[in-house]
Chain A
């Protein structure tokens, strides 16, 4: 299945800032993003892909954590994504840590809400 990735507006600058203090965690989250993306390409439904690094945040949003980072005690970080099955696009929405979690989940939910409204869903 031909899936594509797309990041939300502002993601790039936010990620670049965040990455400065969380380099290993970011690498691990991107490796987990690769696994998630590969699962979609292999036809696995986003809802049925539930390895330990995937956390459900409601309305189809998944938070991919930093499991696999090459650190003894990595910081708890999350990369928020949304798999839009209709157009086979994996939206990469926002990155954050435990402290910003509630704010990030809210942002991700608003993003998905706008996306759905835009498509009349």
Chain B
């Protein structure tokens, strides 16, 4: 049977017999992460390299070059202009190196709480907007609980099924019950 891979990285491990070379190739792939994101964002926006070049007043070859740059070679100004042309902002975050997944969940939670507070603040004394915000909050709260419950369910340890389960027989009539009682007495 032909071997299948879930990622290009898994395929690389199979291609290169030399482990350091596989590692080096995967590092090269990681170094292109930012340019990969830009290419995919542009495609999702249904824009060709030519369209982008026109929007930015750049040459198409500059767009092509940008979409193959290594992470280290990006110029912040070009990156900002490119993302802005597609209607995106850039956010840079500085998570601690040793932050655990739990830390990240907590961080995201407080960040989200901040956004929700901002949203509430926007409503001010306008009853109509406040009503809309409340409706959104209820929906968001419900969806969050639903997702949390789904995660909880996935995390539950699977109960081991016994090979044979023994239960008392299901009896149809009173006489059968009496007979069974006699037998077990």
Q: Which residues of A contact B (CB under 8 A)?
A: 2, 4-7, 9, 12, 15-16, 19, 26-28, 30-31, 33-35, 37-39, 42, 44, 48-53, 67-68, 70, 89, 92
Cβ of A68 to closest chain B Cβ, rounded Å: 3
Indicate if B5 sits at the interface (CB-CB under 8 A).
Answer: yes
**A12-B14, A16-B15, A44-B44 are contacts. A6–B36 as well, Cβ < 8 Å?**
no
* Contacting pair B5 A4 (CB below 8 A): yes
* Contacting pair A15 B25 (CB below 8 A): no
The size of the chain B interface, using a CB distance under 8 A, is 31
Q: Which residue of B lies closest to A23 (CB)?
A: B21
User: Of B11, B28, B64, which one neighbours A5 at CB under 8 angstroms?
Assistant: B11
* Contacting pair A38 B11 (CB below 8 A): no
**A12-B14, A16-B17, A50-B48 are contacts. A34–B36 as well, Cβ < 8 Å?**
yes
* Contacting pair A42 B29 (CB below 8 A): no
Cβ of B97 to closest chain A Cβ, rounded Å: 25
User: Of A42, A53, A68, which one neighbours B40 at CB under 8 angstroms?
Assistant: A42
Q: Which of A6, A42, A52, A70 has the largest number of chain B CB atoms within 10 A?
A: A52
Indicate if B158 sits at the interface (CB-CB under 8 A).
Answer: no
Please provide the chain B residues from 6 to 52 with a CB less than 8 Å away from any CB of chain A in the complex: 6-12, 14-15, 17, 24-25, 28-29, 32, 35-36, 39-40, 43-44, 48-49
